[in-house]
Amino acid sequence: MSRYLEAFLEYLQINKGVSKNTYEAYKRDLLQFEEYIKKPIIEADNMDIISFLSSIGNKRSLNRKLSSINSFFDFAYKHGMSDTKHKIKQAKIPKTLPKFLTKEEILNAIKNIKPEKWFDLRDKSLILFIYATGLRISEALNTKISDIENGWVKVTMAKGEKQRIVPIAKVALDAIEEYLKKRPCQSEYLFVNKDCKPLSRISAFNITKKYLNVSPHVLRHSFATALVLGGADLRVVQELLGHSSLNTTQIYTHIQKENLKDTVIKYHPLELMEN
C-alpha cells in the first residue's frame, strides 16, 4: 500500500469518521486499483482509470469503485499531493465500455511490421491512418490520394452527401509518404491491393486482425478514447468522428476548422510524439 493511500484512509477514519464498512469498502476498492495499475495510486492517469473500470463487469461495482477513486483524487488535490483531480463523472461512463488500444499497444504492433514488401508499408500506413484520424473503415478505403493536402484529409461521408475535414498526425503522414514511394502501381485510391485495385473491407480487417488482433473499428474507438482521456471536448471529438445525428450536427455547426486541428495537436498521442 502506498503512503498516499495510507494517508487517505487515515483521513477517512480520523477526519471524516466514516463507518467501518465504508472504510473497508474504500480500502478494498483502492487497493484493488493500485494492484491493477502496478504503481502508486497517485501516479495513475485517466487511461489507468478507464482501463481498470473496463475490467469490471458489474455496473454497480464499477460505480462504487469509481466513487472511491474520485474521492481519493479529490483528497489528493485538496491536500497538494496532485495537480489534477483525474475526476471522471459516473454519468459519462457507458454501460459497455468500447474496446480500445493504447498508443503503446498500437506502436509496438507496428514495430513488428517488417517493411520487406511495399504492401507491408501499406499495412503500417493503414493502421496509423485510421488511428490518427478516427475514420470509419469505409471512409479510409474510399480516401483518394488527392483528398490529402497540407496535413488534412477530406472525408466523404455516407452516400457522398456530406464532407468533413480531419487533421492527420505527422507520424501517419510520413508513413503514407514512404508507402506511396514504394508502391509499384498508379491508382487514385490511397490504399490498394496487389492488383492495384481499391483495398476491400475484408482485406483491411485481415490487416488489423493480423497485427493488432482487432477490427479496424477498434482503431476508430482508440482515436476517440485517446482524445477524450487527454481532456478533449466531447463535442469536438464527435465532430472529428463525423457522427450523423442531426441534433449532434447542429450543435457542432460553429466549431471552427482551427479548433479541430488544435484539439488533435494538443491531445492526440501521435502528435505529442513530435514534441
Catalytic residue selected from 20, 60, 111, 159: 159
Query: Is 252 part of the annotated catalytic residue set?
Result: yes
220 catalytic per annotation:
yes
Cα 123 to Cα 139: distance, rounded to the nearest angstrom: 16
What is the distance between the terminal CA atoms of the chain, rounded to a whole angstrom? 35
- The answer to whether residues 171 and 268 touch, using CB atoms and an 8 Å cutoff, is no
Is residue 254 annotated as part of the catalytic site, yes or no?
no
Query: The C-alpha cell of 142 is what?
Result: 474510399
- Point out the catalytic residue in the list 136, 183, 221, 261: 136
Based on the residue annotation, tell me whether 64 is a catalytic residue of this protein. no
Q: Which residues of 178-196 are buried (b: 16+ CB within 10 A; e: fewer)?
A: ebeeebeeeeebbbbeeee
Q: Which of 122, 124, 220, 221 is catalytic?
A: 220
Please say whether the beta carbons of 175 and 128 come within 8 A.
yes
What is the spatial distance between Cα 84 and Cα 76, in angstroms, rounded to a whole number? 9
d(CA 157, CA 241): 10
For residue 217, indicate whether it is catalytic.
yes
Residue of 39, 201, 210, 243 with catalytic role: 243
Catalytic one of 154, 217, 235, 266 = 217
In whole angstroms, what is the distance from residue 273 CA to residue 109 CA? 17
Rounded to 5°, the CA angle 146-152-158 comes to 70
Catalytic residue (one of 23, 36, 77, 252): 252
Residues annotated as catalytic (active site), given as ranges? 136, 159, 217, 220, 243, 252
